[in-house]
Amino acid sequence: MSAFRMSVTKSEEVIFDYSEIVPDSSSLFTRQRLLDAIDTVHKTLGNLVTISFASKAFSKKEAVVFTFNEGMLEQYMENRAERAFLRRTIFNTGFLGHISDSVCMELERVGRYIFRSFLQDAKKSGISMDIQHELLKLARFVYTYSLKKLGLALPANKHLLAAPKQASAYLSTIVYHETLEQMAKYAHRAASIKSLLDRDHFHKNISEKALAREVNYLEVDQHIEPIRVKLKQADFIHNVLNNWCEEWLISRVKTVTEEVEGIRKKTRDNKRTASEFITDLRNDTYDKLDKLMTLIRKFGNHAVPPSSQNSSLTKTKATIQSYFAIQKERLDMLAVSSS
């Protein structure tokens, strides 16, 4: 009741007349039961709210005061707005079904993970605020776009509405595919900027035309500093997204293999299921990377040498191939040990 009243009154201090809780001496909810309830609240939720008694100045009536932690109202309003955004985004895709709070909470956890993990490397490295803002915008785009894809998929996957964990796993996979695509875009952007940066004579000519005089290479170096900053930004964001994708894959595979190892009676069916999951995940990732590399070769910046166009994605694929090979060998050893 007090949490609801806090949201209505927009105040983190909520006051109830004592008579609202204990109407009279004949009430089933006695003063002692109120004291016991307050004690329980303090033990379980003392980090969020404190409850005390007070006397109203003019009426002299006793009151019960709930004092919530500073900032809780703002946090509540932010969470409420985020949930409204989630439901509205999916609704706008044409899906008119109800999405329960339990499913929303799981989907929001995916969103929070995207924002937190995208920014953790930036904060650790003390990178510029411009790059942090770019990562924030990118996190919001990936989350929003993935919610839209989820909304389009829900009519054919209504079982997800009754399975919060499965719904979040489904959204997480969509996020992974979208992050892979954004990673490829930033890799190509970095390659394009580097290709431009490496054209020394080109920059010298532009600088001389801009200044209407001959310039030395120190002046050219100063002239191209903004391009160098753009390259640093594209490189950093590409690395953040690449690391995120690798960590997501490792986390998914680790979960499956640990489940298999944790089953005391290891059956061949368990091994086959895990092996099939990892194979599907591997093939799905390879297929996505191959399509992205084909698109870059076809529509990418032709100023970038062919040997450099997909060098970053090729390295990523090689790393993933090595990882999957190790995991397959690990599952094969488990199968041998349980046979």
- Mean pLDDT, rounded, for 209-213: 69
- Please indicate whether residue 331 or residue 271 has the higher confidence score (pLDDT): 331
Quick check: 66 pLDDT over 50? yes
Task: Tell me how far apart the alpha carbons of residues 339 and 335 are, in angstroms, rounded to a whole number.
Answer: 6
Q: How confident is the model at residue 255 (pLDDT cuts 50, 70, 90)?
A: confident
Mean pLDDT (the chain) is 82
Query: Which has more pLDDT, 199 or 241?
Result: 241
* Whether the Cβ atoms of residue 146 and residue 111 lie closer than 8 Å to each other: no
The pLDDT of 136-150, averaged and rounded, is 93
pLDDT tens digit string along 259-284? Answer: 655 544 445 555 567 778 888 888 88
- pLDDT above 70: residue 327: yes
Q: Which amino acid is at 225?
A: E
Least confident of 77-81, 98-102, 311-315: 77-81
Residues 303-320, mean pLDDT to the nearest whole number: 83
- CA atoms of 142 and 240, how far apart (whole Å): 14
Mean pLDDT computed over 59-65: 82
Q: What is the SS3 assignment for 144-177?
A: HHHHHHHHHHHHHCHHHHHCHHHHHHHHHHHHHH
- What is the arithmetic mean of pLDDT over 71-75? 71
For 299-337, b/e burial (b = at least 16 CB within 10 A) is: ebeeebeeeebbebbeebbeebeeebeebeebbeebbee
pLDDT (average), residues 68-73: 80
Q: What confidence score (pLDDT) does residue 138 get?
A: 92
Q: What backbone torsions phi and psi does residue 51 show, to the nearest 5 degrees?
A: -120, 135
Higher pLDDT, residue 23 or 74: 23
pLDDT at 92 over 90: yes
User: Does 59 have pLDDT greater than 70?
Assistant: no
pLDDT band at 141 (very low <50, low <70, confident <90, very high): very high
* Predicted pLDDT of residue 281: 87
| CA dist 117 → 111, 141, 236, 251 (Å) | 10, 15, 14, 13
Work out the pLDDT band at 181, boundaries 50, 70, 90: very high
- R_g of the chain, CA atoms, integer Å: 29
- Residue 215 host element (H or E): none
Each residue's pLDDT tens digit, 76-85: 655 667 888 8
Euclidean distance between the first and final Cα of the chain, in Å?
59
Q: What does the alpha-carbon distance between residue 202 and residue 173 come to, in Å, rounded to a whole number?
A: 44
pLDDT tens per residue, range 1-16: 787 677 767 788 888 8
Is the model's pLDDT at 336 over the cut of 80?
Answer: no
Is-contact 267 334, C-beta < 8 A? Answer: no
